[in-house]
Amino acid sequence: MNLEDYVVEKTKKAKEISGEFSLISDSCRKDILNKIASELRNNSNYILLENQKDVSSAKEKGISKALLDRLKLNEERVFSISKSVEKVANLSSTLGNIVKMWKRPNGLMIGKMVVPLGVIAIIYEARPNVTVDAAALCIKSGNTIVLRGGSEAINSNKALVNVIHSAIEKAGFSKEIVQFFDVTDRKVVDELIKLYQYVDVLIPRGGPSLINYIIENSRIPVIQTGAGNCHIYVDKYADINKALKIVENAKVSRPSVCNAVETILVHNSVAEEFLEKLYEILKNEVELRGCEKTLEILPQIKPASNDDWTTEYLDYILAIKIVKDIENAIQHINTYGSKHSDAIITEDYPTIIKFLNEIDSAAVYVNASTRFTDGEEFGFGAEIGISTQKLHVRGPVGVEDLTTYKYIILGNGQVR
């Protein structure tokens, strides 16, 4: 079978079974998910052995420490993934609900019913946990899914899909509800993004080059999960100790993820005190790059270039810029940011309100780390990505965001 036929076959199977799958009860979907969670735990040794193949290959290719962290699984992470599936299973479901109904003067009753999107394709890179999170969310929301993971995690993803398929069949359903491309040829993506007749929604999850390519070339509607060029602004009214703790967490706890901070903006009135203390905390772990004014305080760090203001490092690197006021901070974030997650550290209420109102991002924080932009942290169980667009969803994309609606109209012989 040639590549084009292979891609068509997979997506067509997902489409053919989507109608049937959308009609099963929530208790049946819950049973599938609980079996997936159980199978993940029971097969953790198999999953970790396959993941080690990917990790070894990545090390040979010289992948960075931060990106390696995204790829690597261990017992704790497999257990955490399985717990996330259980959380998704136990979420309430709105599928089939008529969320609104009204009567027209002619007697027609018009209702708005929640339904699945249909077939969701996700193209993602080196995080194998996405394989499980995406499958779980689509199953819970009554959608079938087509998975295309990155070549870096091919062995891990194959193992995870095998486990998912086994669980689905043990629950008495067809494994065809989860489709997976088990080849690494990049032409799969070129073929997939054409198939609007089989795929209802496409979600790219990865670096800017992947996302931009999909947006520019896809014939399928796209939910854009953008890069995370996240900012923290340390205001002149900030609690410095609170700010230091938050910045350290946002950069160091897991720099390889999209909600890690990449740029710090500091009000000039607190810059010297804050930056000297921050340097002492981060100097052994994080490479700092600063604007000219920052270099006057920290001459030992690297100068920042214009590219640093737009870069999602996903690594132990942090850009720093000193600003004269909150207006400058807001302007910088809205100019250079990726509309993902941005935070302010301040104790001044009017400043808080100004920041919340004027920052145009999916998640805007006050006195908290950007690392909380996550489906589980938001109470969604998991997320299929962080949307940085405004239609039809923004922020962590959870179960409810993978549904749409249709109108049902009840009549008694009315004609127009």
Residue 125 confidence class, pLDDT cut points 50, 70, 90: confident
Mean pLDDT of 181-188: 95
Q: What is the pLDDT of residue 206?
A: 83
Domain residue ranges of the chain, discontinuous segments joined by +: 3-225+397-410, 230-372
Residue 64 and residue 315 in contact, taking contact as beta carbons nearer than 8 Å? yes
Tally the C-alpha atoms within 13 A of residue 386's C-alpha that lie toward its C-beta. 27
Q: What is the pLDDT of residues 353-397, one digit of tens each?
A: 999 999 999 999 999 999 999 999 999 988 999 999 988 899 999
Report pLDDT for 243.
98
pTM: 0.92
Tokens of 118: 């249909």
Task: Quickly state the pLDDT bin for 297 (edges 50, 70, 90).
Answer: very high
pLDDT at 226 over 80: no
Q: Quote the strand ranges of 152-301, DSSP E.
A: 178-180, 201-205, 230-234, 261-267, 287-290
Q: Side-chain half-sphere of 349: how many Cα atoms within 13 Å?
A: 0
Residues 74-89: pLDDT tens digits? 999 999 999 999 999 9
Rg (CA), the chain: 23
Q: Could you give the CA distance from residue 339 to residue 333 in angstroms, rounded to a whole number?
A: 8
Is 230-372 a domain of CATH 3.40.50.300?
no
- Report which of 268, 272, 278, 267 is spatially closest to residue 344, judged by C-alpha positions: 267
In this structure, the number of other CB atoms found within 10 A of the CB of residue 117 comes to 22
- Tokens 């709105």 sit at which residue? 94
pLDDT of residue 72: 95
Q: Do domains 3-225+397-410 and 230-372 have the same CATH topology?
A: no
For the record, the structure tokens of 277 come out as 């203390």
Please write down the long-range contacts of 303-312, taking CB distance under 8 Å and 24 or more positions apart: 308/263, 309/263, 309/336, 310/229, 310/336, 311/229, 311/262, 312/207, 312/208, 312/227, 312/228, 312/229, 312/258, 312/262, 312/338
Alpha carbons 231 and 382: distance in angstroms, whole number: 23
| Short-list 189, 277, 283, CA closest to 241 | 277
Q: How far apart are CA 114 and CA 95, in angstroms?
A: 5
Alpha carbon distances (Å) from 378 to 146, 172, 414: 25, 32, 46
Q: How many Å apart are CA 291 and CA 304, to the nearest integer?
A: 5
The confidence score (pLDDT) of residue 132 equals 97
Q: Does domain 3-225+397-410 have CATH number 3.40.605.10?
A: yes
Q: For the chain, give the mean pLDDT.
A: 96
